Amino acid sequence: MTQIFVLNSAYGLMTAVAAMDAGALPASSSGRILVAVNAAIIPEAGDGIVDAPHLAALRSRFDRVIDLNELLAPERPPHWRVTVGEAPVLERLLRQAWGIGDHAVELFLQSPQVAPSRVFIDVFMGAPVSIVGDGLMTYSPIRNRWPHTVAGRVVGVVYADTVPGVEPLLFAGTDRLPVPATALRTVVDEVAAATDDPAIDALGDLDRPALVLGQYLSALKLITADEELQMQCDMIDRALEWTPGAIVFKPHPSAAPALIDDLAAHAESRGVRFTVFRGGTPAEVLALRAPFVGAVAGFSTALPTLQALTGLPIAAVGTELLLQRLTPYENGNRIPVTIIDALTRADSPYRGERMQHLVDAVGFAMQPVIAAHLRPRAEEFLTEAPADERHRYFARTRLSSLGLPGGARPGLFARALGAQSGASRITEIQLALRGARRRGKRAWKALRGG
C-alpha cells in the first residue's frame, strides 16, 4: 500500500514523522509520498515545508516529495477544485506520474475539510483516510457533518499527545493514534540541530529569557486592537513573575510594527530587555535552542507542546475573556482556548480524566448533533460542576437551548416533546431551519443573478 501524506505545516510534518519513527503508523509496502502544501496567502514570502532547510531530514523519510504549489501553479492549493468527471482522470495521471501504479493508496491528511486535502479524498475514491492533527484544533469535534460515504472512510486520527490523559473528539469512533511526547521530542531535537540561524544563536547569549508568543487575535475579530495590545502587555507582566533577564517576543507575521514598538516601550518601563525574534522557526524549536525560563501566550498550541517536550513553565493571558468573546458558540477555537485555560489556571481542577470530561462537555455543547453521543457526559459534568465553572465555559443561552443542566427551564414546546428527547429534537429542528434559510438565500441570489 502506498501512503500519501498531504501536509501543510512544520508541526504536522513533525507529528507525522514522529508517528512513523515510533511505529504508530503501519509500515508502507510500496512507499511513502509527501505532498507538501504552502497555504500562505503569499507563499513566496517564506519557506514552506518543501524547501525549509531545517526540515530536510524529515523530508528524507519519504520516498518521494511533491511540491503541490509548483504542480498547480498559478492556482493556489486552497483554491483547487476538481469536478466529479475530472477526479478519475486525475487519479490515473497522478498514479502514473508518482509511480503508484495499481497499488492501494492510504491518505494521511491535514485540514481534511478544505482543499487540497478534500480534493485528494475525492480523487482517490475509496482510499482509507487518517487525519494528521495540527495542534489543539484536533481536540475539537468536526465542524460539519460529512456524507457517510466519505466519513466512513476515516479510520484514525494521528495526533501529538501533548495534553496528558485527553483524547481528541475529531472523528470520534475511529482509531486514536497518539504520538508519544518522547517521540515528538526526538524529531524536534533533530530539527533544532539542523536549524542554522544566527538570530537563534544570539538568543543563547541572553540572561534567563522568557518567551512571549503573539497570535494577532484582533485579525480574527475576537478582540479589538487596543485589547490585543493590553493583552500582550499583560503577557510581558506575567512573564516577569519568572524574573527573566530579557523578554523574547515572537510576533505573528501580520503584527503591525506599531504594536511591537508599544510592547518594547512597555518592557522598557518595566526595566527588562526586549528582543524581537522575527524568524519562522517554530517555538518548539526555539525552546530547545534558547534557555527560556517560561513561555506566555494566548491559546497557542505551542504552550502544551513546550511543556510536554521540555517541562518549560507555561502561562496564558486573556483566555477567560476569549471564552466569552468566541462566537458562535461552536467556533472551532473554543476547545483550544478551553484546554489552555484549564491547563494554566492557578489551582486548576482539570487534569487527566477531569480535563477529558470538560472537553467532552464543551464538545457536545459546540456540536450537539455530530457529537450527540457525548450528551450523557455533558449532563454529568454540568450537574456536578459549580455554577462559576459552568459560567466560565458555557453560555447559559446555549445550555438552555440544549436543555442541559445550568440552563433556563425548558419552554412548553420542549416539555411537550418529552423530557428525554425534547432538547435534542429542538436543536435538530433549529439547525435544519438555519440550513434551510442559508439554502434559500443562495437560491434567491442565484435567481437574481448575484
Q: Average pLDDT, stretch 225-254? A: 95
Q: Global pTM?
A: 0.90
pLDDT at 252: 86
| CATH code, domain with 250 | 3.40.50.1980
Q: Do 302 and 421 belong together in one domain?
A: no
Mean pLDDT for all residues in the chain? 92
8 A C-beta contact, residue 204 and residue 289 = yes
pLDDT at 436: 58
* 179 within domain boundaries: yes
pLDDT at 192: 97
Rounded CA-CA distance 450/443 in Å is: 10
- Answer whether residue 172 shows pLDDT above 90: yes
* 407 within domain boundaries: no
- Answer whether residue 447 shows pLDDT above 60: no
Phi, psi of 314 (to 5 degrees): -130, 155
Q: Do 312 and 347 belong together in one domain?
A: no
313 Cβ neighbours under 8 A, 6+ residues apart: 242, 293, 294, 295, 307
Q: Average pLDDT, stretch 113-118? A: 96
Rounded CA-CA distance 72/78 in Å is: 10
Q: Do 366 and 389 belong together in one domain?
A: yes
Q: Do 248 and 394 belong together in one domain?
A: no
Instruction: Classify burial at 319, counting beta carbons within 10 Å of its beta carbon; exposed 0-12, middle 13-18, buried 19 or more.
Output: buried
Q: Which of 317, 338, 372 is the last residue of a domain?
A: 317
pLDDT at 126: 93
Residue 336: asked if its preceding bond is cis (omega within 30°), the reply is no
Q: Average pLDDT, stretch 147-160? A: 96
Nine cell digits for residue 281? 522557526
Q: Which pLDDT tens digit goes with each residue over 397-420? A: 999 999 999 998 766 555 555 444
Q: Do 224 and 142 belong together in one domain?
A: no
* 340 within domain boundaries: yes
pLDDT at 248: 98
> Residue 421: which pLDDT band, with cuts at 50, 70 and 90?
very low
* 339 within domain boundaries: yes
Q: Do 332 and 434 belong together in one domain?
A: no
Q: Which of 187, 211, 244 is the last residue of a domain?
A: 187
Q: Do 183 and 40 belong together in one domain?
A: yes
**Any idea which residue has 527573566 for its cell?**
244
- Answer whether residue 152 shows pLDDT above 80: yes
Q: Do 293 and 245 belong together in one domain?
A: yes
CA 367, 373, 375, 378 dihedral sign is negative
Q: Do 79 and 125 belong together in one domain?
A: yes
Q: Which pLDDT tens digit goes with each residue over 286-318? A: 999 999 999 999 999 999 999 999 999 999 999
pLDDT at 418: 46
Q: Do 278 and 349 belong together in one domain?
A: no
* 137 within domain boundaries: yes
Nearest in space to 6 (alpha carbons), one of 49, 46, 57: 49
Alpha helices for 63-180 (secondary structure H): 68-72, 86-97, 117-123, 148-151
Q: Average pLDDT, stretch 321-332? A: 95
Instruction: Classify burial at 380, counting beta carbons within 10 Å of its beta carbon; exposed 0-12, middle 13-18, buried 19 or more.
Output: middle
Range of the domain at 206: 195-317
Q: Do 43 and 164 belong together in one domain?
A: yes
Rounded CA-CA distance 68/449 in Å is: 34
Q: Do 312 and 326 belong together in one domain?
A: no
Query: Total structural domains in the chain?
Result: 4
